[in-house]
Chains A and B, each alone.
Chain A
């Protein structure tokens, strides 16, 4: 379907599709099997300027918005969610700097992210603090013109691979949600290190690792925004990034639909291609309906965000939860249509199904997304009385 993209947006889509077909597809199974970080692919994406998409032009980027981001992420995800997670996580780490960084911080960090010279990462989750983000324990104490950080962050995408980390830590335990602050931590900062690299069900090309802060000392000018704004930084970041997770879902589901439809046309049983059986055709039809509906939602929300709309939490959550639930269903159905073939590693759909599951979990579980939407509805209908 035509979404009336600008010439520049079509250029991004076509280039990402070309890279996905020529570079990512041929290596995705091996990266998954070996649980290998896609260093070469990240270099290719950097050479193609793709790390600059959402970075303002004055910092070496292309100045695109949420729509440009979702177009790129969707196309890369169509080939491999592990690769697209690595790519998108760099933007997740960059958003706090774009949204809350001061001029010096933007100049120093965004230029490195835009060129692909450094990957970025975002660190909020801890071992005892997932959905209940307010319960994080990592402490940052100001001493002179430095902050001393102690604690650890869990399941951080691009952990150990990124050079730039946006980290949320507690600066005043007595202030509750207003006691958290966001910091930039650099790879190599004294007292900053990495724990074990996780082994995972899916998105195995992406690196997921623990961050360890052991009397980690950083200069005081690494604060993003002001002290106490940590959760505001996190929430505004998620408002921007969640449609990107929706775009990952649209991409992987489209990839699964492509595989299932192509297979159903050539696979013969009872002397006929299985796509001619209504049971299979209806499954494919439902998959196609769901993918297109999710894409329309993601693009519409991205355009709404790019219009400069203020309160986007509800629709951002919608653009995450609907596509990701859809992707789990569509990738599972793709495995079903391929039958025994689908369950085997020679075909790409079992990987897509394994990969899709994380989309319902990360960047806020789909249960938390529904909480956000519910709270917003409560506010909205409260005002209407």
Chain B
């Protein structure tokens, strides 16, 4: 079975701050990490490879330093990878990103299963996985929390829903996006670390994959980020008194009223 896992390098959002003047992310001194959801995608891919055999390749789009996330994936046990790095890819929205990734999947020789994290912690769109499936013309199941059966023709998966889960049969080739319930990422391995140290990450640009510069990056994007800002703290607050149990119930009522949470039936 050929498995391709898509990973994205993101700023470590636990420590990220906005510049109050320019409204852009302050990237200086902020470590770059593998998007945490992509670690679950990688773990899912490794488990699938253990079950079904075959090989696992990692695909990423980003600046040249994003080669680091592919090396990291090799530390965890990936067989190899491909980085899509080109000035032409810069400023891509999710639509233009899927154009590049779809070409990357083809450049890797295609896959039986493509696995993505459910979303990236920097953009939070959750669009790239499903969008990539559409570009590749293959079926997809989002929010997968576990595997039931695997064979060469199909994959039976559990799809996380608000009120439980669905069991879905996905004909292959197909794409899934995964949630954290799919399994705790394993530690990196010593052999993987040694291999990663020596591994030269292959890099391809738009022209290498026969892509027109107008299809990718900012030029190929339908959306643009005009401004990023931190919401103003309004300063309004309300103190809820009474016994802890009453105060707690009052908090729940307010959150339901504000539609922050929903109470299931």
Chain A residues engaging chain B, CB cutoff 8 angstroms: 7-8, 11-12, 15, 18-19, 22-23, 44, 47-50, 52-53, 62
Contacts and interface: CB of A to CB of B under 8 A. Distances in A.
* 7 shortest interchain CB distances as A-B pairs: A49-B190, A49-B189, A47-B186, A48-B187, A48-B189, A49-B191, A19-B187
B194 interface: yes
Nearest to A8: B194
Given A15-B188, A19-B187, 4 more contacts: A44-B186, A47-B187, A49-B190, A49-B191
A42 to B, nearest CB: 12
Contacts of A52: 190-191
A7 B187 CA distance: 19
B2 to A, nearest CB: 22
A12 B187 contact: no
A79 to B, nearest CB: 13
A44 B187 contact: yes
Nearest to B186: A47
Contacts of B197: 7
Contacts of B194: 8, 11
B193 A23 contact: no
Interface-centre pick from A12, A22, A48 (highest chain B CB count, 10 A): A48
Interface residues of B, number: 10
A15 B186 contact: no
A80 to B, nearest CB: 16
A54 to B, nearest CB: 12
A12 B190 contact: yes
Contacts, number: 35
A50 B190 contact: yes
B190 A62 contact: yes
By secondary structure, the B interface counts as helix
Contact of B190 (A15, A22, A44): A15
Contacts of B188: 15, 18, 48
A47 B189 contact: yes
B191 A11 contact: no
A44 B188 CA distance: 9
Nearest to B50: A47
A331 B22 CA distance: 53
Contacts of A47: 186-187, 189
A11 B189 CA distance: 10
A62 B187 CA distance: 17
A60 to B, nearest CB: 10
A156 B197 CA distance: 40
Contacts of A44: 186-187
A18 B187 CA distance: 8
Nearest to A62: B190
Nearest to B77: A47
Contacts of A53: 190
Contacts of A48: 186-190
A11 B190 contact: yes
A11 B193 contact: yes
Nearest to A14: B193
Contacts of B191: 49, 52, 62
Contacts of A23: 187
Nearest to B193: A11
9 contacts: A8-B194, A15-B187, A15-B193, A18-B187, A47-B186, A48-B189, A49-B190, A49-B192, A53-B190
Contacts of A15: 187-188, 190, 193
A23 B188 CA distance: 12
A10 to B, nearest CB: 10
Interface-centre pick from B187, B188, B197 (highest chain A CB count, 10 A): B187
Nearest to B75: A15
A8 to B, nearest CB: 7
